[in-house]
Amino acid sequence: MNEGNMLQTGFWWVPVMSWNVLALNIGISVYTLLGALLEERKLLSEFGKPYDDYRRRTPFIIPGLKIRNWSSNLKISSCHSQ
């Protein structure tokens, strides 16, 4: 887990959750998730089938969690054969 993910998960473990902290947590979580999905799309476009094979056998964000179906619907826009 990189520092960004550690920082993001640390935001959820506060002793008192105010509305401002909740809004911040939701914003950071959505930003992180969308960023990861956009990065996957970019990597899929750049590396094509080899990256698609890799991402099908690698967990998305949370190791050990098998929720890949909704993320696997990304299309290969410019597949580079290797």
Q: What angle do CA 76, 39, 3 make, to 5 degrees?
A: 155
Q: What's the whole-model pTM score?
A: 0.61
Q: What is the span of the domain harbouring residue 3?
A: 1-11+18-74
For residue 54, is it within any domain? yes
pLDDT of residue 79: 46
Question: Which residue in 64, 67, 74, 6 sits closest to 40, CA to CA?
Answer: 74
For residue 79, is it within any domain? no
For residue 80, is it within any domain? no
C-alpha 17/C-alpha 79 separation (Å) is 45
For residue 5, is it within any domain? yes
Number of domains making up the chain: 1
Res. 1 pLDDT band, cuts 50 70 90: very low
- Check if the beta carbon of residue 24 is closer than 8 Å to that of residue 56: no
For residue 57, is it within any domain? yes
Question: Could you report the per-residue pLDDT of 30-63, keeping only the tens digit for each?
Answer: 998 999 999 999 999 999 999 999 988 888 877 7
For residue 3, is it within any domain? yes
